[in-house]
Amino acid sequence: MRAARSDPEAAWPPPISPDETDEEKDVRLEQEREAKRVSDAIDLALNSEKEAKKKTVHGAKILLLGQAESGKSTILKNMQLHFSPTAFHAEAELWRPVIHLNLVRSVNFILNLLAPRSSGTTSPTSSLPLDDSARRLVFSLAPLKSVETSLTKRISGSASTVDIDNKSTSADTPYSHYNPAKAPEIAVRSGAGWKGLLKFRRQSGAVSSPEDMQNRRIINACADDIMALWRNPNVQEKLRQEEIFLKDQPGFFLEDVERLTKEDYLPTPDDVLRARVNTIGPEEHRIPMESSLENGNGKDWIVYDVGGDRSQRAAWAQFFDTVTVIIFLAPVSAFNQALAEDETVNRLADSMKLWRMICTNKLLASVDLILLLNKIDILDTQLKAGVQFGKYVTSYRDKPNETEAVSKYLLDMFTALHKQHSPSKKRKMHPHLTCAIDTKATATVITHIQEVILIKTLSQTNIL
């Protein structure tokens, strides 16, 4: 983990220069006033949320577990859409800067991929020359670097974010931590209250500042070039040779550019489900039941969404003794991927290790487990493209390289782990094959989760 930068430019407020002019002083004071205004707005939003929580009658407590990028946040958003559709749609506008940032970061990732690598690189694409159209696009899309900086500041309250690999990442230099395997994500600290801050700005009439409008104009002006960049054969060849599959990564919107870049664009529910913000640390979410028929008594559900990478897993245990059910997500499409934190560890093997840990824990002996083998759609695409499951999971041997056979094999493996390691033979496991961005299919899964919770609640009150 890198230490925080100690240079003067990283400090806030910045040191006052002894040679400061009157104009520079005015600029500095205005920046300090703006920083305080943003800080006060965040505090107000957090305090309002805290007061609302005090007045809420709590219902079921649900813990979302799984490694990073397993789909926990997408399942959470599906639950919010299912139980609180009015509130979900009312907040759709707040996701627009996030979606635009997802789009811009994908573009800047490609631009970085096209940039010449250092002489010591082993990249197979470093020697591939760019055609004239690609070189023109690199130049014409350069303004999106400043848009990324602005949007990052808009969402996180600062010009830098927390990198998911625990490195400090400055949005002013978006390519300083180039990862050749995946496009970068915005990561914010838990409790940052970015939605609350944007909601406060909207309520105060400041949701569309001059800077916001400028960002949207730049994105709109770059729309044709963004589409041309994504369709450019030179770009597609580079992505193919680097084995980079942007389509399968969270926050991918490069095939929706024309719609997303319109000045009157408003995110759809599907857009919100696909949008990606990586929160560092555990987050507590309350899902109000807009219809009292949804859970029988109108109580809110409390959902804990905890970080999935290795550095955050120690925080899981603090929630074990209070939850009603655990929803565990295992991304089955990750069978040919390594952990971002440790490239020697296969992601599927890591998911199975985590699942075994959950099944073994005696504190969870009476907690029902809901297993979601997620991203089944991506698994299907991979297998149809010829990726051999047995190459990465040698125990699969010569079984058919087909989605039905592979998914059954995985389901059997996870079921066997639960049966073998569960401290209680009475505890139930409820498995599902899921695609979290498929709202209709996921709604069926959520209904089943609701039934599990209802039965659990009734049994605890001796009604069953």
Tokens matching residue 63: 């813990």
CATH of span 58-84+288-460: 3.40.50.300
pLDDT given for residue 157 in this prediction: 63
Cα distances from 437 to residues 184, 271, 289, in angstroms, run: 20, 9, 22
Residue pair 84/288 in contact (Cβ under 8 Å)? The answer is: yes
pLDDT given for residue 28 in this prediction: 80
For CATH 3.40.50.300, list the domain ranges present in the chain.
58-84+288-460
Whose CA is closest to 288, among 83, 82, 54? 83
Residue 2 burial (C-beta neighbours within 10 Å; 0-12, 13-18, 19+): exposed
Sequence ranges of the binding site for GTP: 273-279, 374-377, 436
Residue pair 125/238 in contact (Cβ under 8 Å)? The answer is: yes
Sequence ranges of the binding site for Mg(2+): 279
Residue 51 burial (C-beta neighbours within 10 Å; 0-12, 13-18, 19+): exposed
Sequence ranges of the binding site: 273-279, 374-377, 436
pLDDT given for residue 289 in this prediction: 84
Q: Which amino acid is at 63?
A: L
pLDDT given for residue 50 in this prediction: 61
In three-state secondary structure terms, 359 is: helix
Cα distances from 145 to residues 115, 337, 460, in angstroms, run: 14, 29, 55
Backbone angles phi, psi at 165, to 5 degrees: -95, 20
Question: Strands of 58-65's sheet, edge to edge?
Answer: 283-287, 300-305, 58-65, 325-331, 368-374, 429-433
User: For residue 259, what are the contacts with CB-CB under 8 A and spacing of at least 6?
Assistant: 265
Point out which residues pair with 368 in neighbouring strands: 325
Helix axes 403-421, 376-384, angle to 10 degrees: 130
DSSP per position, 279-328: EES-EEEEE--SSTTTTSS-PEEEEEE---SGGGGGGGGGGTTT-SEEEE
pLDDT given for residue 155 in this prediction: 80
In three-state secondary structure terms, 60 is: strand
pLDDT given for residue 407 in this prediction: 97
Q: Give, for all 464 residues of the chain, the pLDDT tens digit.
A: 334 444 444 445 666 777 778 887 788 888 778 777 777 777 776 666 565 555 444 578 899 999 988 999 899 999 999 999 998 998 888 899 999 999 999 999 999 988 876 545 555 445 567 778 888 999 999 999 999 998 888 787 654 444 444 443 333 333 333 344 555 566 665 554 556 556 655 555 555 667 888 899 999 999 999 999 999 998 998 888 888 888 888 889 999 999 999 988 999 999 999 998 877 778 888 898 877 555 444 578 899 988 767 777 777 777 777 888 999 999 999 999 998 888 899 999 999 999 999 999 998 998 999 999 999 999 999 999 899 999 999 999 889 999 999 999 999 999 999 999 999 888 999 999 999 888 889 999 999 999 988 888 777 665 55
